[in-house]
Amino acid sequence: MIGSKNTEVKKCLNILFLDHFNRHGGAQEYIIDVARYFSKRKKNCYLPKINIQTLHCAAEGLNQTNFSILSKSYKSVVFYIKFVVNIFQVNFFIRRKEISIVHCNSIPVLFLTLLKPNSTKNIFTCHDVSLSKIRLMVVERFSDYVISVSNYVKFYLYKNGISQNIETIYNGFYAIPSQSSKNKKGVLRFGIIGRIIPWKGHNLFLEAANIVLSKGFLAKFFVIGEAEEKTYLKELKLKYDRNYAIIFLPFKKQKYQLFRNIDVLVNASISPEPFGRTIVEAAMFGIPSIAPNIAGPSEIIEDGITGLLFDTGDAIALSNSIIRMIRDKSTIPKFGLAAKKNYNERFNIDLIGTRIEDIYDKTLNQ
C-alpha cells in the first residue's frame, strides 16, 4: 500500500525550484542541475526566469516562469517592492500549477512561500554557515526538510537550533567528457576558479604563488572568474599581474572549458567553505586539488590520496603543498585517477538525485 502511494507521488510530482539567480555561483549551478535531473525523469519542473547569460545557458531547455525573483540589492527600495510582488507571483504559480514541492535554494526565497497551501512542501538546501538569527528563524519557520551540502553545514545548523530533519547530500554532477588538455610544455599549471571575492582567498593563492616563484620553481598560476567587487580584482591585478607566471582569465559560457588551463585546482578559501564545488568538477576530469583542511573540502578530499589539504589561511602551507606537487609530478596523475574514482562513487547526479527524490517522497507522505 505504501509502495503504491509513493509511486503515485512520483507520477504527479510538480516541482518549483527557487533561487534569485542574481549571481553565478556554485549554489545556482547546483539547483539547475537538480532541476535538470528531475526534468529528464519526466517530472514537471520549473525555474524562475534567469537573466544572467552564463546561467541562462546552463538552464537551456528547462521550463522557466514568466517572472524573475527579487532584485540585486537589499539596500534598494526596488528590492522590497519586488519582494512583495514575488510573494504573490510565487503563490499564484504554486496554486495554478499544483506544485507539490518547492525546492528553495536560498533563505530569501523561502520567505516567498509565505502564502503557499499546506499541501505544498518546502525543501531547503543550505549552502551557508554564517546565518543571522533572523535567517535561521526563517529556515526554522518555513522549511519542511533541510538538505545540507556537507556535514559541516549540518552540524552548524543543529548547533544553531534548527530542529527539522536535516540530511547531508553533496552536490551531484553530470559526467562530462574530459576537458583537460595535455600539458605539452611540462610547466605545471595551478588554477583557482570561481567568483573573485575576498573570502575565496585569491590573495592567499597569489601570495603562495609568489613564494613558490621566489624559490625558483617553475609553474603558472591562473585566476579564473568574475569579480563581485571590482576594486578587489583591481587590487589583485595591480599587485600580481606584472608577473609573467600569473594569469587572469574571465569565465566562459562553457564553464568546463576552463579546466583545460590547469593541471591542479586550488581552493584557497579563508572562511569555511560549505562545500567546494570546483573540487568535484576538477575531479570529473581527473584533476586533483589542493584545498583547506576544514569544512566541505576536507569531506571531499582524502589527503595524500585524491589531493592535498593545507592549514586554512596559511600561505606558506599552501606554497609547500604546491611545491610538493612540482617536485613530484608523478603524484598528480595518481591523485587525479583517485579523484575521478571518488567523483564516480560519491558525486554523480544519479546517486544524488535518487536521494533527493526520496526526501521529496518522505516529506509529501508525512
Three-state DSSP class for residue 15? strand
Q: Would you state the cell numbers that stand for residue 17, as one nine-digit string?
A: 525550484
Residue 274: Cβ-neighbour burial (10 angstroms; 0-12, 13-18, 19+) = buried
Domains identified in the chain, total number: 2
Task: Say how far apart CA 301 and CA 298 lie, in whole Å.
Answer: 5
| Diameter over CA atoms, the chain | 70
* Residue 184 in domain: no
* Pair 141, 15 in one domain: yes
* Residue 37 in domain: yes
**163-188 pLDDT, tens digit each:** 778 999 999 988 776 655 566 567 89
Pairing of strands 145-148, 166-168: parallel
Separate counts of helices (H) and strands (E) for the chain = 14, 12
* Residue 141 in domain: yes
* Pair 125, 136 in one domain: yes
Neighbours of 329 (CB within 10 A): 12
The enclosing domain of 315 has a CATH number of: 3.40.50.2000
* Pair 224, 148 in one domain: no
pLDDT value, residue 163: 79
pLDDT value, residue 349: 92
Cα angle for residues 68, 34, 201 (degrees, 5° grid): 80
* Residue 179 in domain: no
Q: Would you state the cell numbers that stand for residue 35, as one nine-digit string?
A: 532541476
* Residue 253 in domain: yes
Q: Which residues of 251-261 are buried (b: 16+ CB within 10 A; e: fewer)?
A: beeebeebbeb
Reduce the secondary structure of 126-138 to three states and give it as a string.
Answer: ECCCCCCHHHHHH
Residue 24: Cβ-neighbour burial (10 angstroms; 0-12, 13-18, 19+) = buried
* Pair 201, 70 in one domain: no
* Residue 239 in domain: yes
C-beta separation of 206 from 192 below 8 A: no
* Residue-number span of the structural domain to which 217 is assigned: 189-346
C-beta separation of 346 from 339 below 8 A: no
- Residue of 96, 70, 88 lying closest to 14 (CA atoms): 96
pLDDT value, residue 250: 79
Task: Say how far apart CA 316 and CA 170 lie, in whole Å.
Answer: 30
* Pair 153, 224 in one domain: no
> Residue holding cell 605539452?
184
* Pair 101, 148 in one domain: yes
pLDDT value, residue 347: 93
* Pair 91, 166 in one domain: yes
* Pair 59, 125 in one domain: yes
> Residue holding cell 524573475?
68
Q: What is this structure's pTM?
A: 0.86
* Helix ranges (DSSP H) in 101-229: 107-111, 133-142, 151-159, 202-214
**47-64 pLDDT, tens digit each:** 999 988 778 888 889 999
* Pair 311, 355 in one domain: no
C-beta separation of 101 from 120 below 8 A: yes
* Residue 180 in domain: no
C-beta separation of 164 from 146 below 8 A: yes
* Pair 24, 92 in one domain: yes
pLDDT value, residue 234: 84
* Pair 360, 337 in one domain: no
Task: Say how far apart CA 209 and CA 59 lie, in whole Å.
Answer: 35
* Pair 339, 352 in one domain: no
Helix axes 202-214, 315-327, angle to 10 degrees: 50
pLDDT in tens, the chain (366 residues): 344 444 444 456 899 999 988 777 788 989 999 999 999 999 999 999 998 877 888 888 999 999 998 876 667 788 888 889 999 999 999 999 999 999 999 998 999 999 999 999 999 999 999 999 999 999 999 999 999 999 999 999 999 999 778 999 999 988 776 655 566 567 899 999 988 889 999 999 999 999 999 999 999 999 988 887 788 888 888 888 667 889 888 776 566 778 888 999 999 999 999 999 999 999 999 999 999 999 999 999 999 999 999 999 999 999 999 999 999 999 999 999 999 999 999 999 999 999 999 999 999 987
Task: Say how far apart CA 150 and CA 195 lie, in whole Å.
Answer: 20
Q: Distances in Å between the alpha carbon of 35 and those of 110, 167, 250, 345?
A: 17, 19, 27, 21
* Residue 147 in domain: yes
Q: Distances in Å between the alpha carbon of 267 and those of 67, 291, 293?
A: 35, 5, 10
